[in-house]
Chains A and B, each alone.
Chain A
Amino acid sequence: MGSEAIIVFLIAGIVLVAGANFLSNLISHKSDNPQKREPYESGMTTIGPTWVQFKVGYYLFAILFLIFDVEVAFLIPWAVVFKDFGAIAFIEVLIFLVILGLGLMYAWKKGALKWE
């Protein structure tokens, strides 16, 4: 099967979830009361909004991830053809990885990897 597999599996996934949801709606027990529709919070009513500005540390790691993931994407083509190139590819990637390592060291030194 070629790339149409993506479409087939996309449709299969949608059918699975939508079908099971439909079936569940059909046979499930239904009873409604206003308390049931409250967000769960250990039995208390939620105080204040939930959608607030969240801790910035998470976004810092997201940015770091973005940088390093792009580097991984750069390395993958290199890894595939490495056997054909040998020495020159090895030295070039050594330089690349050293720069990458220095970047990680910098982030480390600046305290970007510290969780507080």
Chain B
Amino acid sequence: MIRALSITRSIHDWLYSSMSENMAYFIEMVLIAIVYLAIFAVAGLFLVLIERRVAAWFQLRIGPNRVGFQGLLQTMADALKLLSKELTGTEKADKFLYNLAPYFVIITALMALAVIPFTQDFQAFDINIGILFLIAISSIGVIGILLGGWSSNNKFALIGAMRSGVQTISYELSIGLSLLTMILITGSLQLSEIVEVQKSGWLIVQGHIPAIIAFMIYMIAGTAETNRAPFDMAEAESELGAGFHTEYSGMKFAYFFLAEFINMFIIAAIATTVFFGAWLSPFGITESIPILGVFWFLAKAMVLVFLMMWFRWTFPRLRVDQLLTLEWKYLLPLNLMNIVIMALIVWLNLTIQF
């Protein structure tokens, strides 16, 4: 439940005082769902704009800046345009799976968003196996991509989906293992407890060398997991058209697009939570004002999102074999060794704590 802001507490009290318990409970659930859908949509649209502005900046262009203040309404206009576009699709497609695929990607992205601790108690779903839940949910997302690519009955889409599948499952190992390295310090999978541990120093400081290695592995794997450049084999424009969503048009394409950006945010948000103290302010400078936690969380997440956009315009696209070599022959052995080092450091109490 969201308890952080005093306004939500007063809404909660008002609901329970003015109607029967079941009704109040139901309305509260609906409100939470609406809040998260709003976060989902706003974050997605905002990130698309940021991506375009950053891309323009890297290429010495201006980027969209006409619709609304600094182009803030540009992506809103794009979303409306996509909504009014015709939903075409191929006659040969497996209709049921073709329509099912967007549900998978959207629902998994939304569920992953639920466990992100935006600030103290601003977390819809504080589950005691939070990290495991995130890893599990992100594995389901790839099923949506595979379904979409396979059911389209299009050769580009099929190749794109297969590449995306092999890439996502490979890099998922690195995500899991690098997060596991950090769990050694926290001794808990619950995200709120992971934040609690970081009150005596962010985990990247507490774990020093192995934590920094784990963070680097995590960012590389996270970029690959979201199919972003330089790992965007799945939608390599020059060879595959649009990759797995070649046959999707209008709003159905928008789901994949939105989910991709939300997934990027989720990767950054997990990194923020596990490595950079989530909503904790540096040196506890604003601890007395809990609402600023949201600001700190988003600021840290945005820096990491910017890092991922930076990757995109810095590195050339990899080939499939290079991609798999990087994961299986470099990152995975490095990760296994890193776990041993981290275990040694935790065992010998060599962590840095303030």
Residue of B106, B131, B247 near A40 (CB, 8 A) is B247
B75 to chain A, nearest CB (A): 15
- Docked pose: A42 CA to B90 CA in angstroms: 14
Q: Is B37 a contact of A16 with CB atoms below 8 Å?
A: yes
Q: How far is the CA of A68 from the CA of B183 in the complex (A)?
A: 18
Shortest beta-carbon distance from A31 to chain B in Å = 7
CB-contacts of B338-354 with A (<8 A)? 339-340, 343-344, 346-347
Q: Is the pair A5, B177 in contact by a Cβ cutoff of 8 Å?
A: no
Residue of B nearest to A83 (CB): B187
Is B36 part of the contact surface with A, judged by Cβ < 8 Å? yes
B residues sitting closer than 8 Å to A (CB atoms) are 1, 29, 32-33, 36-37, 40, 83-93, 102-103, 106-107, 110-111, 114, 124-127, 131-132, 150, 152-156, 158, 162, 165-166, 169-170, 172-173, 176-177, 180-181, 183-184, 187-189, 241, 246-247, 250-252, 254-255, 320-321, 324-325, 328-329, 332-333, 336, 339-340, 343-344, 346-347
Q: Tell me the chain A residues, 1-46 only, with Cβ under 8 Å from chain B.
A: 1, 3-6, 8-17, 20-21, 23-25, 27-31, 36-42, 46
Distance (whole angstroms) from the CB of B214 to the closest CB of chain A: 12
Give the CA-CA distance A89 to B347 in the complex, in Å: 10
Give the distance in Å from the alpha carbon of A77 to the alpha carbon of B122 in the complex. 27
For A13, the chain B residues whose CB sits under 8 A away are 103, 106-107, 110-111
Name which residue of chain B comes closest to A66, CB basis: B169
Binding site secondary structure of chain A: helix
Determine the chain A residues whose CB is within 8 A of the CB of B328 once the complex forms: 64, 104, 108, 113
A-to-B contact residues, CB < 8 Å: 1, 3-6, 8-17, 20-21, 23-25, 27-31, 36-42, 46, 50-51, 54-55, 57-58, 61-62, 64-65, 68-69, 72, 75-76, 79-84, 86-87, 89-90, 93-94, 97, 100-101, 104, 108, 113-116
A28 and B343 contact, CB distance less than 8 A: no
Closest-by-CB residue of A relative to B100 is A17
Residue of A50, A64, A75, A93 touching B158 (CB-CB under 8 A): A50
With contact pairs A61-B166, A61-B169, A113-B329 given, residues A37 and B102 touching in the complex (Cβ less than 8 Å): no
A72 & B177 in contact (Cβ 8 Å cutoff): yes
State A15–B89 Cα separation when bound (angstroms).
22
Q: Name 20 extra pairs, CB < 8 A, besides A9-B111, A79-B181.
A: A1-B124, A9-B33, A11-B33, A13-B103, A14-B103, A17-B255, A23-B83, A28-B87, A30-B86, A31-B86, A39-B92, A64-B328, A65-B170, A72-B180, A75-B339, A76-B180, A80-B187, A97-B340, A100-B336, A104-B332
| A20, A80, A94, A97: the one within 8 Å of B83 (CB) | A20
The answer to whether A39 touches B247, judged by C-beta atoms less than 8 angstroms apart, is yes
A5–B124 contact, CB under 8 A? yes
Nearest 3 CB-CB pairings of A with B: A13-B107, A115-B321, A5-B125
Q: Which residues of chain B are within 8 angstroms of A42 by Cβ–Cβ distance?
A: 241
Write 9 A-B pairs (CB below 8 A) sorted by A numbering: A1-B29, A9-B33, A24-B84, A57-B166, A61-B170, A68-B173, A80-B183, A80-B188, A83-B187
With a cutoff of 8 Å between Cβ atoms, the chain B residues found around residue A27 in the complex are: 83-84
How many angstroms from the CA of A37 to the CA of B91 in the assembled complex?
5
Q: Give Cα distance in the complex from A38 to B330, angstroms.
A: 43
Instruction: Check A58–B162 contact: CB distance below 8 A.
Output: yes
Contact of A101 with B84 in the complex, beta carbons under 8 Å:
no
CB pair B347 A87 closer than 8 Å: yes
Chain A residues near B344 (CB-CB < 8 A): 90
A9-B111, A37-B90, A41-B155 given as contacts; is B1 within 8 A of A76 (CB)? no
Partner of A82, one of B33, B91, B92, B346: B346
Residues of B within 8 A of A8 (CB): 29, 32-33, 124
Q: State which of A10, A12, A69 has its C-beta within 8 Å of the C-beta of B172.
A: A69
Q: How far is the CB of B69 from chain A (nearest CB, A)?
A: 26
CA A3 to CA B115, docked complex, whole Å: 11
